[in-house]
Amino acid sequence: MRRRRAGGRTMVERASKFVLVVAGSVCFMLILYQYAGPGLSLGAPGGRAPPDDLDLFPTPDPHYEKKYYFPVRELERSLRFDMKGDDVIVFLHIQKTGGTTFGRHLVQNVRLEVPCDCRPGQKKCTCYRPNRRETWLFSRFSTGWSCGLHADWTELTNCVPGVLDRRDSAALRTPRKFYYITLLRDPVSRYLSEWRHVQRGATWKTSLHMCDGRTPTPEELPPCYEGTDWSGCTLQEFMECPYNLANNRQVRMLADLSLVGCYNLSFIPEGKRAQLLLESAKKNLRGMAFFGLTEFQRKTQYLFERTFNLKFIRPFMQYNSTRAGGVEVDEDTIRRIEELNDLDMQLYDYAKDLFQQRYQYKRQLERREQRLRSREERLLHRAKEALPREDADEPGRVPTEDYMSHIEKW
């Protein structure tokens, strides 16, 4: 009896140790997964494309204080973009806002049924619809500068329909629907970036600035420099030119310039002109299908994907930089740039608040939907468990050998 009891205790001890080892291994694997799992890129060849369920996007700031009131209709941006129909995305590219990078994302980084055809050595890609040879994207890297170099809102809205009608005459049977998009950037950083670009020789002098059917006269838009370009100009010289289009560029390029007499500064008083431009830019920005902010790349990617129901292959990268774009300037110079770009400062403050509210709204809505789905799945699982289990032997069971033998005896 003692031997049996001793043997029983040994078996129990061995079984207990085995259970402890298994439990410890499971706990270790769970801890390891918590640290390593989120960074894994399972099923992503070459690590280029993250899995669909990997959450790359930042959590909304719960302490964010809203500055402006926007109704729900201004926060909802779930469009039924029909790539196989007649819908067209129009990208308004404002200088030095990161538009070149974003433009390349549109033609090279969107997961499409028929990807854009981008060939080495060519500046433009062919972005056809899946069902016909007709473009769904109007941008620098798809259609080129068809409405002029860095065409603004006034130019694009009056030019794009005609350009596409000439390109795709077969589409004249149905009207197109245009979805305008753009990017904005912190005005001081953008201004300094433009100055450095001009300092290196950029001019954009081939821009048309078309408004009300004509381009501005030399008197309405005098040049800031003599010669072929303004290369080598100092920041002070850049700021001192009263005709510098870098000043409040974002407001000017988003506003309806027809409201203020285009580039005719004597059309209405300066104060009234500034107010009309700012309000028009805000209105047009709200009415756009989408806009992003250079300082928030991941959130920009998130909102674009949810707005158009399109997915990017690779995540956007956020390149951290100082507010002055790498240029060392003193506080007095910063304040002077802010004064020169007062309208842009107001617009950016407004746009940033709208952008953050849209992001928070989308994330909260998405999480609410996820909670509802999880709750429905739990309820369904409980309902299945609560159903009575039918005895598999009752209906139409096959008689056993014992039963048959009893019958033979009877």
Catalytic residue among 63, 150, 197, 406: 150
> What single-letter DSSP state applies at residue 171?
G
Q: Where are the domains of the chain?
A: 76-370
Q: What angle do CA 348, 351, 354 make, to 5 degrees?
A: 150
pLDDT tens-digit profile, the chain (410 residues): 444 455 555 555 665 666 565 566 655 555 444 443 433 333 333 344 444 444 678 887 777 789 999 999 999 987 899 999 999 999 999 999 999 999 999 999 999 999 999 999 999 999 999 999 999 999 999 999 999 999 999 999 999 999 999 987 765 568 899 999 999 999 999 999 999 999 999 999 999 999 999 999 999 999 999 999 999 999 999 999 999 999 999 999 999 999 999 999 999 999 999 999 999 999 999 999 999 999 999 999 999 999 999 999 999 998 865 444 578 899 999 999 999 999 999 999 999 999 999 999 999 998 888 888 888 888 888 888 888 765 545 555 555 454 445 444 44
Query: Which CATH code fits 76-370?
Result: 3.40.50
Cα angle 354, 358, 362; round to 5: 175
Q: Please enumerate in sequence order all residues whose Cβ is within 8 A of that of 358, keeping only pairs 6 or more positions apart, or say none.
A: 75, 77, 303
Look up 150 and say whether it is catalytic. Answer: yes
Query: Smallest Cα–Cα separation from 131: which of 147, 114, 110?
Result: 114
Give the DSSP per-residue string, 290-350. EEEETT-HHHHHHHHHHHHT--BSS--------TTTT----HHHHHHHHHHTHHHHHHHHH
Q: How far is Cα 106 from Cα 405, in angstroms, rounded to an integer?
A: 79
Residues 337 and 238 sit within 8 Å (Cβ to Cβ) = no
Return the SS3 of 92: strand
69: helix, strand or coil: coil
* Distance from C-alpha of 239 to C-alpha of 246, rounded to nearest angstrom: 9
